[in-house]
Amino acid sequence: MTAPLLSIEDLDLRFASDRGELHALHGVSLTVGEGEIVGLVGESGCGKSITAAAVMGLLPMPPARIAGGRIVYKGQDLLTLSDRAMRRIRGPEIAMIFQEPMTALNPVFTIGSQMSDVLCRHQRLSRRAARLKAIDWLNRVGIADAGARIDAFPHQLSGGMRQRVMIAMALSCRPRLLIADEPTTALDVTIQAQVLELMRTLVREEGVAMLLITHDLGVVAETCDRVHVMYCGRVVEQATTRALFAAPRHPYTRGLLECLPRIDGAAIGGRLPTIPGTVPELSKLPPGCAFAPRCPQVQADCEQAPPPVRALQADHLAACLHPVSAS
Amino acid sequence: MSLLRVRGLKKYFGGSGWPRRKAPLKAVDGVDLDLAAGHTLALVGESGCGKSTLARAILRLHEPTGGEVWLDGTPVTGIGRAALRARRREMQIIFQDPYASLNPRRSVGQTLDEPLSVHRWGNRATRQARVNELLEVVGLRPAMANRYPHEFSGGQRQRIGIARALALSPKLIVADEAVSALDVSVQAQILNLLNDIRERFGVGYLFISHDLAVVRHLADRVAVMYLGRIVEEADTADLFRQPRHPYTEALLSAVPVPDPTRHAGRIVLPGDLPSPSAPPSGCPFHPRCPKAVARCSTEVPALRTMDDGARVACHLV
Amino acid sequence: MSADRPHSLWSRAAQRFVRDRAGMVSAVVVLGYFLVALTVWLGLGGQDWGVLGSDSFAPVSAEHWFGTTRNGQDIFARTVYSTRTAFEIGLVVAVSSVVLGAVFGALSGFFAGSWLDEGILWLKGVLDAIPFFLFVVAVAYSLQGHPLAMHVAMIATFWTTTGRYVRGEVIKLKSMEFVEAARAVGVPQGAIIFRHILPNTSHILLVQGTLVFVTAIKAEVILSFLGLGVQDGVSWGLMISQSTNEVTAGFFNNFIAASLAMFVLVMAFNFFSDALQDALDPRKVSA
Mean pLDDT for all residues in chain C: 82
Q: Are A309 and A29 in contact (CB under 8 A)?
A: yes
As a whole number of angstroms, the distance between CA B31 and CA B88 comes to 22
Which of C6, C186, C199 has its CB closest to that of B151? C6
Q: Distance (Å) from the C-alpha of residue C215 to the closest C-alpha of chain B?
A: 30
Asked if pLDDT for residue A79 goes beyond 90, the answer is: no
- Helices C21-41 and C9-19: crossing angle in degrees, nearest 10, is 100
Neighbours of C, requiring at least 3 CB pairs below 8 Å, are B
Residue-level pLDDT at C64: 67
Query: CA geometry: angle at B87 spanning B83 and B92, to 5°?
Result: 145
CA dist., res. B86 & res. B189, Å (int): 32
- Mutation site for B-interface testing, chosen from C4, C11, C185, C204 by largest number of B Cβ within 10 Å: C185
**Res. C62: pLDDT tops 80:** no
Any CB–CB contact under 8 A between B254 and chain A? yes
- At residue C3, the pLDDT reads 40
What is the rounded CA–CA span in Å between residue C202 and residue B48? 34
Strands of A20-32's sheet in order across: A20-32, A6-17, A64-73, A76-77
pLDDT tier for residue C6 given thresholds of 50, 70 and 90 = low
Dihedral, CA atoms, B184, B190, B196, B197, nearest 10 degrees?
-150
Among the listed residues A14, A16, A17, the one whose alpha carbon sits nearest the alpha carbon of residue A28: A14
B144 touches chain A (CB under 8 A): no
- Contact criterion met (CB below 8 Å) for B98 and B161: yes
Q: In b/e form, how buried is each residue of C216-250, taking b as 16+ CB within 10 angstroms? A: bbbbbbbbbbeebbbeebbbbbbbbbbbeebeeee
A222 residue type, one letter: E
**C105 contacts C200 by C-beta, under 8 angstroms:** no
User: What's the pLDDT tens digit per position in C246-265?
Assistant: 777 777 777 888 888 888 88
B268 touches chain A (CB under 8 A): yes
Mean pLDDT of A165-176: 86
Peptide bond into A286 cis (omega under 30): no
Phi then psi dihedrals of residue B33, to 5 deg:
-145, 150
Give tens-digit pLDDT for B204-225. Answer: 999 999 889 999 989 999 999 9
Q: What single string gives the DSSP state of each residue in B292-313? A: --GGGGTSPPP-EE-TTS-EE-
pTM for the full model?
0.84
The yes-or-no verdict on residue C101 having pLDDT over 70 is yes
A60 CB within 8 Å of a chain B CB: no
Res C287: pLDDT = 37
Residue B12 contacts residue B50 (beta carbons within 8 Å)? no
Q: Does residue A250 contact residue A318 with C-beta atoms inside 8 Å?
A: yes
Assess B262–A contact: CB distance below 8 Å, yes or no. yes
Residue B100: list chain C partners with CB under 8 A.
Answer: 176-178
Nearest residue of chain B to residue A192 (CA atoms): B254
What percent of chain B lies above the pLDDT cut of 70?
97
| Residue C256, C-beta contacts closer than 8 angstroms, at least 6 positions apart | none
Mark yes or no for CB contact B148/C183 under 8 Å.
no
A166/B contact by beta carbon, under 8 A: no
3-state SS, residue C73: coil
In this prediction, residues B269-283 reach a mean pLDDT of: 83
Q: Beta-carbon neighbour count of residue C271 at 10 Å?
A: 19
Q: Where are the alpha helices (DSSP H) in chain B?
A: 51-58, 81-87, 108-118, 124-137, 154-166, 184-201, 212-218, 236-241, 246-254
Residues contacting residue C138 through CB under 8 Å, at least 6 positions apart: none
pLDDT in tens, B230-259: 999 999 989 998 999 999 998 888 888 888
With a CB cutoff of 8 Å and minimum separation 6, the contacts of A82 are: none
The CA distance from B10 to the nearest CA of chain C, in Å, is 20
Q: For position B49, what pLDDT does the model report?
A: 86
Q: Check whether A12 has a pLDDT greater than 60.
A: yes
Tens digit of pLDDT for each residue in A214-253?
999 989 998 899 999 999 999 999 999 999 998 999 999 9
**Distances in Å between the alpha carbon of C43 and those of A123, A134, C84, C261?**
80, 79, 11, 20
pLDDT (0 to 100) of residue A1:
52
pLDDT in tens, A142-158: 887 888 888 888 888 88
Has residue C4 got a pLDDT over 50? no
Q: Is some CB atom of chain A closer than 8 A to the CB atom of B156?
A: yes
Q: Residues of B with CB below 8 A from C174's CB?
A: none
> Which residues of chain B neighbour A183 with C-beta distances below 8 Å?
none
Residue of C244 and B282 predicted with greater confidence: B282
Average pLDDT value for chain A: 86
Q: Sign of dihedral through CA atoms B45, B48, B50, B51?
A: positive
Enumerate the residues of chain C whose CB falls inside 8 A of the CB of residue B119: 186
Distance between CA atoms of residues C109 and C96, nearest Å: 19
C145 Rama sector, left if φ>0, alpha if ψ -120 to 50, beta otherwise: left
3 state DSSP class of A176: coil
Peptide bond into A280 cis (omega under 30): no
Give residue B275's pLDDT band: very low, low, confident or very high (50, 70, 90).
confident
Q: Is residue B294 scored above 80 in pLDDT? A: yes
What whole-number distance in Å separates Cα of residue B149 and Cα of residue C61? 60
Q: Quote the Cα angle for A53-A57-A59, to 5°.
A: 60
- B199 CB near a chain A CB, below 8 Å? no
pLDDT tens for C105-134 read: 999 999 988 889 999 999 999 988 888 888
CB C106 within 8 A of CB C197: yes
Q: Which residues of A touch B269 (CB under 8 A)?
A: 190, 193-194
CB contact under 8 A, B100 and C286: no
At B311, the pLDDT band (50, 70, 90 cuts) reads very high
Instruction: Kindly calculate the radius of gyration of chain C based on its CA atoms and give it in whole angstroms.
Output: 22
How far is the C-alpha of A65 from the C-alpha of A14, rounded, in Å?
5
In total, the C-beta contacts within 8 angstroms joining chain A to chain B are 133
How far is residue C86's CA from residue C265's CA, in Å, rounded to a whole number? 10
Chain B partners of C193 at a C-beta cutoff of 8 Å?
none
pLDDT digit string (tens) for A185-222? 888 888 888 888 888 888 888 889 999 999 999 899 98
Q: How far is CA B247 from CA A245, B218, B230, B250, in A?
A: 29, 21, 11, 5
Q: Is the pLDDT of residue A78 over 50?
A: yes
**Band of residue A118 on the pLDDT scale cut at 50, 70, 90:** confident
In chain B, which residue's Cα lies nearest the Cα of A281? B153
Cβ contact (<8 Å) for C181 and B101? Answer: yes
Q: What length does chain C have?
A: 287
**What residues contact residue B259 under an 8 Å CB cut-off, 6+ apart?**
A221, A245, A264
Q: Which of A13-17, A106-110, C162-166 has the highest mean pLDDT?
A: C162-166
Give me the pLDDT at residue A238, please. 93
User: Does any CB of chain A come closer than 8 Å to the CB of residue B191?
Assistant: yes
Q: Per the CB < 8 Å rule, is B104 touching C196?
A: no
Residues of B in contact with C170 (CB under 8 A): none
List the single range of A193-197, B87-91, B192-196, C7-11 with lowest mean pLDDT: C7-11
- Which of B61, B101, B118 lies closest to C178 in CB terms? B101
Grade residue C286 by pLDDT with cuts at 50, 70 and 90: very low
Strand partners, C95: none
Give how far C128 is from chain B: nearest CA, Å.
27
Residue C185: closest CA among chain B residues belongs to which residue?
B115
d(CA B8, CA B65): 10
pLDDT of residue B207: 94
Percent of chain B that is helix, strand, coil (3-state, to 5): 35, 20, 45
- The per-residue DSSP string of C4-15 comes to GS---HHHHHHH
pLDDT beyond 90 at B127: yes
Task: Please give the Cα distance from A237 to C272 (Å, whole number).
Answer: 51
Is it the case that residue C232 has pLDDT exceeding 50?
Answer: yes
Residues 6 or more apart whose Cβ sits within 8 Å of residue B263: none
**Share above pLDDT 70 across residues of chain A, in percent, rounded to a whole number:** 98
Other CB atoms within 10 Å distance of the CB of residue B306: 13
Task: Tell me how far apart the alpha carbons of residues C127 and A175 are, in angstroms, rounded to a whole number.
Answer: 59
H runs (alpha helix) in chain C:
9-19, 21-41, 75-110, 115-129, 132-142, 149-174, 177-185, 189-191, 202-225, 236-248, 253-280, 282-286
Going by C-alpha positions, the residue among A174, A157, A173 that lies closest to residue A165 is: A157
C31 and C269 in contact (C-beta within 8 Å)? no
Give yes or no for B200 touching A (CB within 8 A). no
Residue of B85, B97, B105 lying closest to C177 (CB–CB): B97
pLDDT the model gives residue C2: 37
Q: Name the residue with higher pLDDT: C62 or A25.
A: A25
